[in-house]
């Protein structure tokens, strides 16, 4: 094969890969938006996973902020900056991880496409880690059109990344800031309600999770403050626990505490039990019947049938 023919062949392969990725993105977004309720429950968990799986940028925890206005939703965090692999996965529709799969975890797998349920378009402003520090980029992910439109948007995003600018001091800059224009906030409301139900258990499953701030359209605020992880050995096992404080519109609620019971210090499986302080001490808070009873660091949808008064958390391999 001549060099000219080989170059044309390589160009055709690259174009075919790009079109296949655009087709996969279109299909997955269509699937998610065509099945809105389960996807609405799922989208904030995907954003949390991508924030927490990066690890902290500095310190020991990651702060997450969610701003919900009448016309937009903003999700931002101060976890580790993007890597080149993260951006590649984000723009190409992710890894081979199946849509809504709980078996594997990874930043910006195809499960991330479920975050387009609130809106098919999102503006992303973030930090990209490079050899000499970080660069600041901004791009628009638009998955609203057909295959050709999605392919064109991918090329536009590539060009936007080319224009990333070096940042010397990024102390006050979020590692990632997603902004979704919202026309119908039903998916947002469903997702945030499910997230708040799961949040106490997430503090037990993900020790990187730090302060979480919610700001509503009318200016109302809700902030969750976790304490340090306390570890103790028991006669027949091991326990970790964190105290969680909640402040809503300036009013401080009685603290909660999530316990993580294990058979050994290095166990990958645990029982999570949530308690709340009361006038007489601590009272166990039982999960509701329909709430997930199994976590794989994050709640597994459809596990509410498990007849337990606590939550399982571990590196399970559940059948999708």
pLDDT for the residue numbered 195: 95
pLDDT for the residue numbered 77: 96
**Residue 255 DSSP one-character state:** P
**Within the chain, what is the greatest distance between any pair of CA atoms?**
83
Query: What does the alpha-carbon distance between residue 178 and residue 14 come to, in Å, rounded to a whole number?
Result: 29
> Tens place of pLDDT for every residue, the chain, 320 residues?
777 776 776 777 777 778 888 888 888 888 888 887 888 999 999 999 999 988 999 888 999 999 998 899 999 999 999 999 998 888 887 653 444 444 334 555 667 888 999 999 999 999 999 988 899 999 999 999 899 999 999 999 999 999 999 998 888 899 999 999 998 889 999 999 999 999 999 999 999 999 999 999 888 999 999 999 999 999 889 999 999 999 999 999 999 999 999 999 888 899 999 999 987 889 999 998 889 999 999 999 889 999 999 999 998 776 65
**For residue 92, is it left (φ>0), alpha (ψ between -120 and 50) or beta?**
alpha
pLDDT for the residue numbered 96: 37
Query: Is the Cβ–Cβ distance between 137 and 128 less than 8 Å?
Result: yes
Query: What does the alpha-carbon distance between residue 26 and residue 121 come to, in Å, rounded to a whole number?
Result: 12
Alpha helical stretches, state H, 64-185: 84-92, 147-162
Residues whose CB is less than 8 angstroms from the CB of residue 98 and which lie 6 or more positions away in sequence, other chains included: 110, 320
Report the 3 state secondary structure along 293-312.
CEECCCECCCCCCCCCCCEE
Q: What domains, with CATH codes, occur in the chain? A: 3-101+108-187 (3.30.565)
Query: What does the alpha-carbon distance between residue 219 and residue 233 come to, in Å, rounded to a whole number?
Result: 44
* CA-CA-CA-CA dihedral for 81, 108, 75, 60, to nearest 10: -50
Query: What does the alpha-carbon distance between residue 204 and residue 274 come to, in Å, rounded to a whole number?
Result: 9
Query: What pTM value is reported for the model?
Result: 0.88
Query: Is the Cβ–Cβ distance between 46 and 115 less than 8 Å?
Result: yes
pLDDT for the residue numbered 97: 43
Q: What sign results for the dihedral spanned by CA atoms 235, 297, 77, 67?
A: negative
pLDDT for the residue numbered 64: 97
No. of helices (H) and no. of strands (E), the chain:
5, 16
């Amino acid at each position: 094969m001549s060099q000219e023919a080989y170059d044309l062949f390589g160009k055709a392969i690259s174009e075919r890969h790009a079109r296949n990725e655009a087709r996969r993105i279109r299909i997955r977004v269509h699937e998610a938006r065509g099945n809105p309720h389960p996807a609405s429950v799922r989208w904030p968990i995907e954003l949390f996973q991508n924030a927490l799986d990066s690890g902290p940028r500095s310190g020991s925890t990651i702060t997450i902020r969610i701003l919900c206005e009448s016309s937009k939703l903003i999700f931002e965090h101060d976890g580790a900056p993007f890597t080149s692999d993260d951006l590649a996965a984000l723009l190409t529709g992710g890894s081979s991880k199946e849509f809504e799969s709980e078996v594997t975890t990874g930043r910006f797998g195809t499960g991330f496409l479920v975050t387009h349920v609130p809106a098919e378009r999102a503006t992303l402003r973030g930090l990209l880690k490079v050899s000499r520090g970080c660069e600041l980029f901004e791009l628009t992910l638009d998955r609203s059109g057909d295959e050709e439109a999605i392919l064109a948007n991918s090329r536009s995003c590539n060009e936007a990344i080319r224009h990333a600018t070096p940042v010397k001091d990024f102390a006050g800059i979020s590692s990632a800031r997603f902004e979704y224009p919202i026309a119908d906030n039903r998916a947002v409301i469903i997702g945030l309600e499910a997230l708040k139900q799961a949040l106490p258990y997430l503090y037990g499953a993900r020790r990187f999770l730090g302060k979480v701030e919610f700001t509503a359209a009318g200016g109302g605020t809700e902030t969750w403050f976790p304490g340090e992880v306390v570890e103790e050995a028991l006669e027949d096992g091991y326990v970790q626990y964190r105290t969680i404080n909640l402040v809503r519109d300036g009013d401080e609620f009685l603290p909660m505490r999530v316990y993580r019971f294990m058979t050994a210090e290095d166990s990958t499986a645990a029982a999570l039990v949530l308690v709340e302080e009361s006038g007489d001490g601590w009272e166990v808070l039982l999960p509701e019947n329909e709430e997930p009873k199994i976590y794989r660091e994050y709640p597994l949808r459809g596990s509410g049938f498990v007849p337990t008064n606590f939550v399982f958390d571990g590196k399970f391999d559940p059948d999708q």
